[in-house]
Structure 1
């Protein structure tokens, strides 16, 4: 089944093209890495799909219907740098925000919703920090709280923008465990990712992007030396099975 269809997507910023001729289809139950150099439009792609920034053109179809009709199926974890971590709220309240799509913004969470939020925090190892102000958490702990919020959303499709940036090895492992669980449950996950050396280990599909898609499909067939050189505009070499950018990009 097609989870997401992107048709003729284009985005400009101050009249300069950021994305153009973006067309691809994401199958349901896949874990896709969005790969490309800085400035390639990876975060812009996610935000344009989610209607967080305006598009010049293009259609977004989610399970055969326009995005706006399927918004409740979508979960989103933004870059940590885009979050106001000084906002006066604690970890539990952040996770409960993930439930508002289910309970509405007017109703207050009941005991069942609060218990579910605690369970989400426990799943990412953050239950003991439920009442801690988010500004007092480390970078890895903050990311885990946002993972718990994503769990609370109970979505079918998740978008994650650089979830591994600036986190410790234990948090990265916890994130990957959760993403793999989602995939096993038939959920669809798209992740903006920078580390070329872990792409083959982490993702079963990948999108190579540099303002326009270079290739998309199963990682084993798309993540090739030729495609990487086309994507990064520079020389790529392999150390064992791991690609290394030697110039350009």
Structure 2
């Protein structure tokens, strides 16, 4: 029996006694692109961070392929929000990507020629090979995001968490990112993405997780991403906007 890449049971998180996530339970299938959507303050980034043990849980259990996160860390790739990264740290793009190989090296081995080769291949996949020696502080927002995607690729994970990878990037970078996500899916990888642009949800994601402190719904996008579920998730006034010749439900605040 194949275990779910991610199973969350009764997860609750609070900041200064204020509930941010309340009794979240779900599991996801393997080999899907899954969008995490919800209004500001819904707990989307908190869901990722608590799942990865980056912030404490009040309660609940998280299983990665049937085992606790600490035992499965080597199976996970993570792309944080850009604003959470210290871009003034004195390092170049190649070194950032090589950090993605550390999990498989262990504590006592330093990256060598093989790891550098892997890092360069990953930079090439995201169109950043020519910027390998460039300091990360000298890169544009879209270029920085591509470097962090390359680092995640270098981890050679099975389950990826990406926190708002499309924010602050140009159209070309967004197109490159979604192509990369589809490549990962074609390799049987599972990818969870915090996403804000509701118009592109049906185009980009196989599944959607709709969140507003509590889990509103999760499942195939065609079944879950509906006007009724959006109303429950966001409230507010709904309108229909066209995107790429299809009609998608959107929110007007």
- TM-score of the superposed pair, with normalisation by structure 2: 0.96
Q: Following the alignment from structure 2 to structure 1, what is the Cα–Cα distance between the partners of residues 252 and 103?
A: 45
Give deviations 1:84-105, integer Å, cap 9, x for gaps: 0000000000000000001124
Structure-2 residue corresponding to 1:216: 218
Aligned partner of 2:77 in structure 1 is 75
1:244 and 2:250 are equivalent in the alignment = yes
Q: Secondary structure at the match of 2:5?
A: strand
Q: 2:134 aligns with which of 132, 135, 142?
A: 132
Q: Tell me, in whole angstroms, the C-alpha distance in 2 between the residues paired with 1:66 and 1:146.
A: 25
Retained in 2: the 8 A contact 1:19–1:45?
Answer: yes
Aligned match for 2:37, one of 26, 35, 38: 35
| Deviations 1:16-39, CA, capped at 9 Å, x for gaps | 100001000011111100000000
In 1, distance between residues paired with 2:193 and 2:136? 23
The C-alpha deviation readout for 1:175-200, integer Å capped at 9, x for no partner, is: 00110011111100000000000000
User: Any idea what SS the aligned residue of 1:46 has?
Assistant: helix
> Aligned match of 1:148 in 141, 147, 150?
150
Gaps of 5+ in 1: none
| CA RMSD, Structure 1 to Structure 2 (Å) | 0.8
Write the distance in 2 (CA, Å) between the matches of 1:196 and 1:243.
8
Q: Please name the residue that 2:232 is paired with.
A: 230
The answer for the alignment partner of 2:165 in structure 1 is: 163
**Which consecutive residues of structure 2, in runs of 5 or more, have no partner in the other structure?**
none
CA contact (8 A) 2:36 2:192 kept: yes
Work out the CA distance in 2 between the residues paired with 1:7 and 1:231: 20
Which stretch of the first structure deviates more once superposed, 142-151 or 99-108? 99-108
The number of aligned residues is: 247
